[in-house]
């Protein structure tokens, strides 16, 4: 409940208004019980129609006012969580867009889904209905006082039933929490397996993976089924307990009330009115416990989200140079992934002067892509510094630095948006004639026009699922066009010709030649002989722990070494 109290404290005026609306709504709801008592005691006893008309009109007016006050309370309760929910979404979005890549990659995709799904759990835990139920709880005292005025004994029976209901709710909560969290995690894993089967449909068919998937599916289905059955059993028990408490309350209220009525200590109207009031108290207590359990789950979801929110973020501000020449310096840098026994590289120091062309080569897994990400500032070195015109990349304003960089990753991925929007992501001026001309030039340079001409929507074609359905060569051309939208002096291309046909490779060669002639600094990870021939410097990642830097391409392995 701490989080709910915190949210209420953020808007004290609204909180008091909710309490006032709850008080008035609950006072009006007393009218129905009073109506029953008066009708049975006054009208039935005396038969005066004017009394019935007056009471009926009065209870209808009170019910309408109670409904109005309840509606006002619900709307005000929605305001309580609006700000905190928006803040939570902004914090989560900041992590998604600004968390350091090395830290974010420590979480598996299923963990990402679980953490982001916790936002929905927090939102539902502190929604208007739950806030109203919590703030309604103090007004149970009104109904208990009303019952006590009819009969103190029936009030004690009601209090006992409410306490018993709360006890059963707490016991059920403790049993369900651990199993519910386990079921949630197992469900995320199961969905991830299903997603991999759908995205890898070709692999399943080409390599007869159906039987493997069926075995995995059956095993997971059995474990999930057992967890669901356990939760369903606990829910049934909890529901039966609550129903039993309600029956207990109704039976004992009428049993004690009947005895008191026979003894002349209360009227029949008072008995029925007390029964209505006691049911209202029990319902309010049950609603409060449901809100309490939801709030507890929301707080646990917030604790899980705090793991995500604790990740360090890239700064929003920093140094912005008047002009970037393209000079890049690597000063004693080293990098190792968490959990590995040895670094990918270390003690690497050299300077790329403006207009230099560096090719990074090596076998698979030697760290070519990692070096490119470090040079681009996407990964921070574990040791040392990468400096642009003498300034550490960590001190530069991220937005400014990204505008100086043309970056082509080895595995291109895209946002679920149109092709035009994906290409224009890095455009410093996304609107206007100049932007459209830059996009046309980038599309032509990346040899993407032929593909666009075959599509009915052209640049407005939607990209879904990160572009996984597109051929690798097309994805690489789109990524190449996206990189060219940045008017930077530094180009970092990771395996730019991989997966491309002859037309695509020629386009890459032309782009690299054009950038080199324009004086841009090039860092290209490649095994393409045609690109290696044009390199002034070659960084051989096969040499460990410190890669060697030379003026010619290293020779490949001898046949006997293969």
Residue range 71-113, pLDDT digits in tens:
888 888 888 888 888 888 888 888 878 888 777 777 766 666 6
Domain borders along the chain are: 2-309, 328-561
Asked which of 92-101, 153-162, 399-408, 412-421 is least confident by mean pLDDT, the reply is 92-101
pLDDT for the residue numbered 487:
82
Grouping H, G, I as helix, E, B as strand and the rest as coil, residue 245 is helix
Band of the pLDDT at 555, cuts 50, 70, 90? very low
- For the record, the structure tokens of 477 come out as 């051309």
Whether 445 has a pLDDT exceeding 90, the answer reads yes
pLDDT for the residue numbered 557:
42
Pairing of strands 490-494, 548-550: unpaired
d(CA 280, CA 274): 10
Whether 203 has a pLDDT exceeding 70, the answer reads no
Say how many C-beta atoms besides its own lie within 10 A of residue 454's C-beta: 7
Q: How long a stretch of residues is the chain?
A: 562
pLDDT for the residue numbered 513:
93
> Is-above-0.75 flag for pTM?
no
Helix/strand number for the chain, H first, E second: 20, 10
Q: What homologous superfamily does CATH list for 328-561?
A: P-loop containing nucleotide triphosphate hydrolases (3.40.50.300)
Asked which of 17-26, 49-58, 385-394 is least confident by mean pLDDT, the reply is 49-58
- Confirm if 352 and 328 have CB atoms less than 8 A apart: yes
pLDDT, average across residues 220-227: 76
Whether 177 has a pLDDT exceeding 70, the answer reads no
Band of the pLDDT at 562, cuts 50, 70, 90? very low
pLDDT, average across residues 333-354: 88
User: Is it true that domain 2-309 has CATH number 1.10.10.10?
Assistant: no
Average pLDDT over all residues of the chain: 83
d(CA 535, CA 234): 68
Asked which of 209-213, 325-329, 359-363, 437-441 is least confident by mean pLDDT, the reply is 209-213
Asked which of 92-101, 132-141, 225-234 is least confident by mean pLDDT, the reply is 225-234
Pairing of strands 328-335, 391-392: unpaired
- Confirm if 154 and 147 have CB atoms less than 8 A apart: yes
- For the record, the structure tokens of 65 come out as 């006012």
Asked which of 196-210, 291-305, 349-363, 463-477 is least confident by mean pLDDT, the reply is 196-210
d(CA 508, CA 186): 45
pLDDT for the residue numbered 196:
67
Pairing of strands 405-408, 490-494: parallel
Q: Which helix (H) or strand (E) holds 490?
A: strand 490-494
Gap between the terminal Cα atoms of the chain: 65
Whether 387 has a pLDDT exceeding 90, the answer reads yes
Q: Which long-range contacts (CB under 8 A, 24 or more apart) does 216-219 make?
A: 217/193
Most confident of 61-70, 129-138, 426-435, 504-513: 504-513
What is the CB-side half-sphere exposure of residue 248 using CA atoms within 13 A?
A: 16
Nearest to 448 by CA among 436, 457, 440, 460: 440
Residue range 346-380, pLDDT digits in tens:
999 999 999 999 999 999 888 999 999 999 998 88
Whether 322 has a pLDDT exceeding 60, the answer reads yes
**Cross-strand partners of 549:** 539
Band of the pLDDT at 198, cuts 50, 70, 90? low
Band of the pLDDT at 11, cuts 50, 70, 90? confident
Say how many C-beta atoms besides its own lie within 10 A of residue 82's C-beta: 12
What is the CB-side half-sphere exposure of residue 80 using CA atoms within 13 A?
A: 33
pLDDT for the residue numbered 558:
41
Share of the chain above pLDDT 90, in %: 20
Burial 223-232 (b: 16+ CB within 10 A, else e): eeeebeebbe
Backbone angles phi, psi at 396, to 5 degrees: -80, 150
d(CA 69, CA 23): 9
Give the residue carrying structure tokens 């915190």. Answer: 6
- For the record, the structure tokens of 38 come out as 């008066």
d(CA 381, CA 333): 6
pLDDT for the residue numbered 431:
65
Give CA 81 to chain center in angstroms: 17
DSSP for 420-439 reads: HHHHGGG-SS-SSHHHHHHH
Adjacency order of strands within the sheet including 391-392: 345-352, 328-335, 383-388, 391-392
Asked which of 13-22, 195-204, 247-256, 297-306 is least confident by mean pLDDT, the reply is 195-204
Nearest to 3 by CA among 85, 68, 106, 96: 85
């Amino acid at each position: 409940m701490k989080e709910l109290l915190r949210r209420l404290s953020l808007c004290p005026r609204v909180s008091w208004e909710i309490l006032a609306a709850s008080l008035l709504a609950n006072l009006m709801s007393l009218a129905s019980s009073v109506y029953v008592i008066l009708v049975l005691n006054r009208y039935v006893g005396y038969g005066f129609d004017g009394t019935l008309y007056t009471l009926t009109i009065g209870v209808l007016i009170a019910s309408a006012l109670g409904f109005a006050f309840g509606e006002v309370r619900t709307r005000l309760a929605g305001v309580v969580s609006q700000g905190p929910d928006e803040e939570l979404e902004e914090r989560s979005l900041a992590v998604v867009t600004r968390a350091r890549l090395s830290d974010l990659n420590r979480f598996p995709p299923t963990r990402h889904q679980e953490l982001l799904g916790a936002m929905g759990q927090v939102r539902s835990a502190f929604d208007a209905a739950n806030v109203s139920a919590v703030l309604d709880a103090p007004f149970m005292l009104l109904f208990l006082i009303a019952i006590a005025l009819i009969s103190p004994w029936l009030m004690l029976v009601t209090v006992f039933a409410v306490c018993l209901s709360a006890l059963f709710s707490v016991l059920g909560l403790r049993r369900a929490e651990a199993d519910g969290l386990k079921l949630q995690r197992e469900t995320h894993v199961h969905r991830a397996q299903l997603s991999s089967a759908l995205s890898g449909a070709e692999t399943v068919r080409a390599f007869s993976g159906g039987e493997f998937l069926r075995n995995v599916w059956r095993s997971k289905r059995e474990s999930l089924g057992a967890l669901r059955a356990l939760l369903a059993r606990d829910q049934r028990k909890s529901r039966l307990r609550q129903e039993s408490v309600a029956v207990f309350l109704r039976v004992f209220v009428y049993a004690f009330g009947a005895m008191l009525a026979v003894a002349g200590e209360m009227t029949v109207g008072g008995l029925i009115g007390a029964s209505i009031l006691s049911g209202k108290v029990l319902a309010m207590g049950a609603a409060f416990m449901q809100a309490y359990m939801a709030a507890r789950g929301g707080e646990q979801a917030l604790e899980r989200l705090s793991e995500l929110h604790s990740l360090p973020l890239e700064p929003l501000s920093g140094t912005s140079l008047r002009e970037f020449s393209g000079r890049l310096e690597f000063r004693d840098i080293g990098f190792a992934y968490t959990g590995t026994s040895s670094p990918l590289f270390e003690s690497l120091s050299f300077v790329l002067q403006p207009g230099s062309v560096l090719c990074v080569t090596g076998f698979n897994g030697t760290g070519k892509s990692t070096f490119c990400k470090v040079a681009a500032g996407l990964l921070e070195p574990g040791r040392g510094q990468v400096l642009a015109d003498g300034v550490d990349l960590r001190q530069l304003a991220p937005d400014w630095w990204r505008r100086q960089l043309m970056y082509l990753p080895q595995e291109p991925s895209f946002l679920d948006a149109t092709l035009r929007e994906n290409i224009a992501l890095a455009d410093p001026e996304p609107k206007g004639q100049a932007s459209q001309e830059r996009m046309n030039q980038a599309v032509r340079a990346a040899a993407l026009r032929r593909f666009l001409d075959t599509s009915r929507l052209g640049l407005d074609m939607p990209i879904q699922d990160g572009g996984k359905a597109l051929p690798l060569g097309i994805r690489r051309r789109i990524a190449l066009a996206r990189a060219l939208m940045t008017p930077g002096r530094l180009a970092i291309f990771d395996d730019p010709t991989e997966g491309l046909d002859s037309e695509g490779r020629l386009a890459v060669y032309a782009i690299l030649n054009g950038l080199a002639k324009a004086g841009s600094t090039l860092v290209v990870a490649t095994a393409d002989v045609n690109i290696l021939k044009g390199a002034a410097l070659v960084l051989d990642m096969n040499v460990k722990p410190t890669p060697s830097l030379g003026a010619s391409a290293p020779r490949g392995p001898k046949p006997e070494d293969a």
